[in-house]
Structure 1
Amino acid sequence: MSAPQKQTFLVGNPLVEGDHPREIAFKQRLAAKAGQPGLFWMNGYKSNMEGDKAQCLDEWATENGAAFTRFDYSGHGVSGGDFLDGTISRWLAESLAVFDEKTDGPQIICGSSMGGWLALLLTRAHIAQVGLEKSRIKGLVLIAPAIDMTKVLMWDNFDEAAKAEMAETGIFRRPSAYDDGPYEITAKLIEDGKAHLLGDDLIETGCPVHILQGVKDDAVPWHSSVDLVARLARDDVKLTLVKDGDHRLSRPDDLKLLIRAVENLLER
């Protein structure tokens, strides 16, 4: 079956000052078989919907007749908007819009890095909208979830020079081993992130969760995923530590683990 074609739709709240409409790009494969949840993919920071993990899930969905939806946040990939305007609030609103408007029926959400944090925030917002019993989210696969990243992985790790640069210019350009250029981190991203911090609170998902985490991850420390397990309110939580795994977890064996995690959730 051929790859799904890119589609776009506008997201923006005219009642919120400065929230200009953005053209959000998404790709969707409709279900060929009824009776199983669709898959919903959420990218990481500065990533896009054409990455190895998203492509792997698309191939699995094709082979198994499952629905699959993926998209780019504004300022990412082929979506509209400026990356430097991005905030957790904005990217969460876009994620909710794609989930609410472009998916039907039960879904398993798969989120990588920042997408793992956003997946938990989306789940919380969805449950707040419809109630736990009516939630369409039937499972979560979180790959190196960057929980509270704007504080824990960014601001708290900035040295005084980085904080001074951000205070003076509104932006800090942090070198990255995973991108052609530096990570551009804005003061507004850091400030907005405070409203979405999960902190030490228990997290109610209403569904089983499987976390995949590389022990050699130099972006999200593996022990943060261990801590997350203790804070998930449900007992149905599984953590797979990949001893030689890095942050991306995109090697062939890593991708097999991802597919196995999805299949295990479907079996439950």
Structure 2
Amino acid sequence: MTEFLETTQGRKIAYSRIPGEGPGIVFLGGFKSDMQGTKAIWLEDWARRQGRPYLRFDYSGHGESSCRFEDGCIGDWLIDARSAIAALTEGPQVLVGSSMGGWIGLLLARDMPERVAGLITIAAAPDFTEQGFWPELSEEQRETIMREGQLALPSEYGDPYVITRKLIEDGRNHLVMSRPLDLPFPTRFLQGTADNDVPLEWASALLAHATGTDMRLTLVKGADHRFSTDECMELIGASVAEVLARI
């Protein structure tokens, strides 16, 4: 059942959670995705079978939460995630971040390390506004964003991506690849070799950049950005189980 959390910023965050024992699991969705996605639902079923607490939620401007997507940015969605974890979970959590959710997870590890017991990323896209969107835009498109405040780009996942000046400029305030990134807990990076949205080089660069004593990168040959085949789902579950066992 969907419930709502009102943050101190006045945003209403839609969420669903199940009870359980031991460290909980929090799913962090991707850019323009929501908590009804395949991976979020599959992982909830997995957590229920394991008797683990589990939380999934929609960032503001996503899914059933309040606000317009175009008005949001990485900093807003980070605050939403931080608020949800603080209000709706107890103790350190295992974060599972998909795509942009991987970036959010890395920021949470930096901002509230006492609440992070482990991290699994799926096609993590850290700093994607700066190392993905911005370099791929033409000079004309960049000028349009800076002058008009936004630009609509086609997306194979549905409605066009609206890239805003706020998103780009705020993203520069939340970069993780240009400053030290310590992950002092079990960390697993999962990446498909056929991902057309997050280059394989990003995963390798993240592994090389971050510091930690229990960190692994697993590549799945032929897996795309959705990372939602039965085999990929089982790998996600196995990775969460491994992290939980090593806490």
For 1:259, which of 227, 230, 237 is the aligned residue?
237
Amino acid of the residue matched to residue 130 of structure 2? K
* Distance in 2, Cα, partners of 1:151 & 1:231: 17
Residue 62 of structure 1 and its aligned partner are, at CA, apart by: 1.1
Residue 103 of structure 1 and its aligned partner are, at CA, apart by: 0.2
The answer to whether the aligner puts 1:162 opposite 2:141 as a matched pair is yes
Amino acid of the residue matched to residue 118 of structure 2? G
Amino acid of the residue matched to residue 203 of structure 2? S
For 2:200, which of 203, 222, 226 is the aligned residue?
222
Amino acid of the residue matched to residue 119 of structure 1? G
Q: Percent identity?
A: 39
RMSD: 1.1
Residue 106 of structure 1 and its aligned partner are, at CA, apart by: 2.6
Residue 49 of structure 1 and its aligned partner are, at CA, apart by: 0.4
With normalisation by structure 1, the TM-score equals: 0.89
| Counterpart for residue 6 of structure 1 | 2
* Distance in 2, Cα, partners of 1:186 & 1:249: 27
Residue 164 of structure 1 and its aligned partner are, at CA, apart by: 2.5
| Counterpart for residue 48 of structure 1 | 34
Uncovered stretches (5+) of structure 1, i.e. residues with no partner? 14-20, 128-134
Residue 81 of structure 1 and its aligned partner are, at CA, apart by: 0.6
Superposed CA deviations along residues 109-146 of structure 1, whole A, max 9, x for unmatched, are 0000000000110111103xxxxxxx231110001111
1:10-25 superposed matches below 5 A: 10-13=6-9, 21-25=10-14
1:195 alignment partner, SS class = coil
Residue 222 of structure 1 and its aligned partner are, at CA, apart by: 1.0
Residue 82 of structure 1 and its aligned partner are, at CA, apart by: 0.9
| Counterpart for residue 16 of structure 2 | 27
| Counterpart for residue 70 of structure 1 | 56
| Counterpart for residue 151 of structure 1 | 130
Residue 200 of structure 1 and its aligned partner are, at CA, apart by: 3.4
Query: Which stretch has the larger CA shift, 149-158 or 42-51?
Result: 149-158
User: Contact between 2:184 and 2:213, CA under 8 Å: does it hold in 1?
Assistant: no
* Distance in 1, Cα, partners of 2:150 & 2:178: 28
* Distance in 1, Cα, partners of 2:51 & 2:169: 42
Residue 202 of structure 1 and its aligned partner are, at CA, apart by: 2.9
Query: Which stretch has the larger CA shift, 220-229 or 153-162?
Result: 153-162
Superposed structure 1 runs of 4+ greater than 2 Å apart: 199-202
| Counterpart for residue 116 of structure 2 | 137
* Distance in 2, Cα, partners of 1:143 & 1:197: 18
1:54-133 superposed matches below 5 A: 54-127=40-113
1:224 alignment partner, SS class = helix
The answer to whether the aligner puts 1:250 opposite 2:228 as a matched pair is yes
With normalisation by structure 2, the TM-score equals: 0.96
Uncovered stretches (5+) of structure 2, i.e. residues with no partner? none
1:203-214 superposed matches below 5 A: 203-214=181-192
Amino acid of the residue matched to residue 74 of structure 2? I
* Distance in 1, Cα, partners of 2:52 & 2:117: 14
Amino acid of the residue matched to residue 151 of structure 2? F
Q: What number of residue pairs does the alignment pair up?
A: 246
